[in-house]
Amino acid sequence: MPSLYDWLGGAEALDRLTSAFYGEVLKDELLHPLFKDMDERHPHFVALWLGEVFGGPQGYSTQRGDYRHMVTAHLGKHITEPQRRRWVNLLMDAADRVRLPTDPSFRAAFASYIEWGTRLAEINSQPGREAYDAPIPLWGWGVAPPYQATETPTS
């Protein structure tokens, strides 16, 4: 069974996704304040993170650091629930625009990680939170196997 990383198209697809996504984030009045000063390489770093999480190479770990590094990046940002939800919606819209796979099994696994990850980012961004160690998650397909279209028999 292919990894989610391979299924979605690998590094090139994730770079397309994050480039398209952050282009919209910077135009969004709710999210712009959080990202207005982001490093121009930030979309690529997020692509590396997603690639590693979805079963690709350990690019984030090699180039950026560990889970603590990711948590530290969110400390003190005070992400609100409306901002988190907008982030999720814009990312899902970008996934459609760059034509990530639309089969139900992939999109369910993808959405599951995005929900989980953004909720942790929101929690870790609140006052009083401190960085902590954890393994970088490895997200998989879940229970359902990847969707395989089949021809419908005719009567």
Q: What is the model's pLDDT at position 150?
A: 55
Q: What is the model's pLDDT at position 151?
A: 55
Q: What is the model's pLDDT at position 149?
A: 54
Q: What is the model's pLDDT at position 142?
A: 81
**Assigned domain for 115 exists:** yes
**Assigned domain for 58 exists:** yes
Contact predicate 21/36, CB 8 Å: no
Average pLDDT of adjacent 10-residue blocks, the chain of 155 residues: 97 98 97 95 97 96 91 94 98 98 96 96 95 91 58 49
CATH of the domain at 72: 1.10.490.10
Helix (H, G, I), strand (E, B) or coil at 38: coil
Q: Supply the angle between the helices 104-124 and 81-97 in degrees, to the nearest 10.
A: 150
State how far the Cα of 146 lies from the Cα of 103, in Å rounded to an integer: 8
Q: Which structural domain, as residue segments, surrounds residue 91?
A: 4-124
Q: What is the model's pLDDT at position 144?
A: 44
